[in-house]
Structure 1
Amino acid sequence: MFVILVYDVGENRVSKVLKICRKYLNWVQNSVLEGEISAADFKRLKLELKRAINEEEDSVIFYILRTTKYSERQTMGIKKGGDELFI
């Protein structure tokens, strides 16, 4: 599956959340990661994030695409991260 992850977490948890996410996905820009991930790794990622965030204050959103066949990314402004990895 292809996942786009967007997070908004407290300042003191940002580096920890980013470190966890980068183990599984590719960094695109501030608070946004994407990439192909297996169902098992997706489960691990969610478990690790659940331990790292404060569910009363933080937010993590997963956009799950079964296929990227009909998807397209358009960027305006400066490019950050690994957009060459988008399929």
Structure 2
Amino acid sequence: MYVVLIYDITMDVHGPKVHRNVFKICKRYLTHIQKSVFEGNLTQLKLMQLKADLDKYIRKDVDSVIIFKSREERWLDKEFWALEDDKTDRFF
């Protein structure tokens, strides 16, 4: 399945450490496309592993992770409204 992952980490005392760990985990599974946004193809098993890895760091009371899922990349439409980044050319 094709996944777009977006996260928001609260920058309190522990925020920078949480952010570093979340970023590294996401980068292992997906392509980094913009600040806290990642995309890529994952199997259901890999998605479950990603969630398990993130659950070790995400603080459910202050942090947020959103996953958009699609069967295939081709079902997504992408439009640039400003600077076009070639790292994101995987969308059609």
TM over 0.5: yes
Backbone CA RMSD of aligned residues: 1.6
The TM-score, its normalising length taken from structure 1, stands at 0.88
Deviation at 1:61, TM superposition (A): 0.4
Give, in whole Å, the separation in 1 of the partners of 2:40 and 2:7.
15
Q: Output one character per residue of 1:23-62: Cα deviation in whole Å (capped at 9) or x when no partner.
A: 0011110111011011111111000001111111100000
**Alignment equivalent of 1:52, drawn from 45, 51, 57:** 57
Deviation at 1:84, TM superposition (A): 2.3
Identity of aligned residues (%): 30
Number of equivalences: 87
Q: Secondary structure of the equivalent of 1:64?
A: strand
Q: Which runs of 5+ in 1 are unaligned?
A: none
Map 1:10-49 to 2 at 5 A: 10-11=10-11, 12=16, 13-49=18-54
Where do 4+ consecutive residues of structure 1 move more than 3 Å? none
Q: Secondary structure of the equivalent of 1:82?
A: helix
Decide which structure has the larger Cα Rg and report it. Answer: 2
Q: Which runs of 5+ in 2 are unaligned?
A: none
Q: Is 1:6 aligned to 2:11, yes or no?
A: no
The TM-score, its normalising length taken from structure 2, stands at 0.84
